[in-house]
């Protein structure tokens, strides 16, 4: 602390920080602010990446479901032409895969907010170009 003389001539005690200390405090506070911003950005990036991963999983299960529907149709056509136990077994395996994929899609849809178009069923048909572009 230094004695500083005021206008009325009386000494007053004022706390003064030196220039080096001011620069050090400015550097430390800048580093702390930068660290907090980086931590917030990393948390946000983790959240966005998690949503992206969930979206990709949903896309994969929907694509698998679509593929298994096509395979089921092919198996049914083959069975009509030439019935066999192998086709029955393939159909059963395909059916189990469809149930698994559909279960994942239903679970994903129940976690969505109530106003989400996917939960409301307001999603365009799979043949729609905009949906195909969104899923690719």
Looking at residue 124, what is its pLDDT? 54
Residue ranges with strand state E in the chain: 2-5, 11-14
Q: How large is the average pLDDT for residues 68-96?
A: 93
Confidence of residue 86 (pLDDT cuts 50, 70, 90): very high
* pLDDT more than 70, % of the chain: 78
62 Cβ contact list (under 8 Å, min separation 6): 101, 105, 126, 135
Q: Residues 38-59: what's their mean pLDDT?
A: 94
Report which secondary-structure segment, H or E, holds 14: strand 11-14
Say if residue 134's pLDDT is above 50: no
């Amino acid at each position: 602390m230094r004695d500083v003389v005021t206008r009325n001539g009386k000494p007053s005690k004022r706390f003064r920080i030196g220039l080096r200390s001011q620069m050090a405090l400015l550097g430390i506070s800048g580093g702390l602010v930068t660290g907090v911003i980086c931590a917030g950005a990393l948390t946000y990036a983790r959240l966005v990446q998690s949503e992206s991963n969930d979206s990709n999983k949903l896309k994969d299960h929907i694509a698998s479901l679509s593929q298994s529907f096509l395979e089921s149709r092919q198996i049914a056509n083959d069975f009509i032409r030439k019935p066999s136990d192998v086709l029955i077994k393939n159909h059963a395996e395909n059916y189990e895969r469809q149930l698994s994929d559909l279960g994942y899609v239903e679970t994903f849809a129940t976690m969505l907010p109530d106003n989400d178009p996917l939960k409301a069923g307001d999603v365009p048909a799979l043949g729609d170009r905009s949906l195909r572009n969104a899923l690719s």
